[in-house]
Amino acid sequence: MNIRQLIQWETKAAPAIHHEGQTITPQSQAITFRLPLPNPQAGIVYVWNRPVAVLVEEGGEVTRIPIYNLNRIMIFTLLGISMMVLLPLWFLSRLTR
């Protein structure tokens, strides 16, 4: 089984909404993880969806408005800062032994 069968990453568009001369189309990304089991008809599937943008069409012009997830940005920033602090401390503790 190759990696493309285990992990799939795709961008999907939801049904468009028409309002006051505008067409609004939400977009999301879906990441699917499949873990096969010995039984061919069984397996574990985990799907993670997140909104990524909204497409607004007005007068033939399409504008893409990205959606930023500040919580995710803050979590990865804190993870990076903690690794920059903890790794040097871990190396110093190994040197002093």
pLDDT tens-digit series, residues 54-78: 999 999 999 999 999 899 899 999 9
**Conformation bin of residue 60: beta by default, left when phi > 0, alpha when psi is -120 to 50:** left
Same structural domain for residues 48 and 80?
no
**Number of structural domains in the chain:** 2
**6-37 pLDDT tens trace:** 899 999 999 999 999 999 999 999 999 988 87
What phi-psi label fits residue 93: left (phi over 0), alpha (psi between -120 and 50 degrees) or beta? alpha
Residue listed under structure tokens 């008809």: 41
- Comparing C-alpha atoms, which of 29, 48, 31, 33 is closest to residue 1? 33
| Selection from 65, 63, 52 nearest residue 10 by Cα | 52
Same domain as 75, residue 42: no
Query: 54 and 36 in one domain?
Result: yes
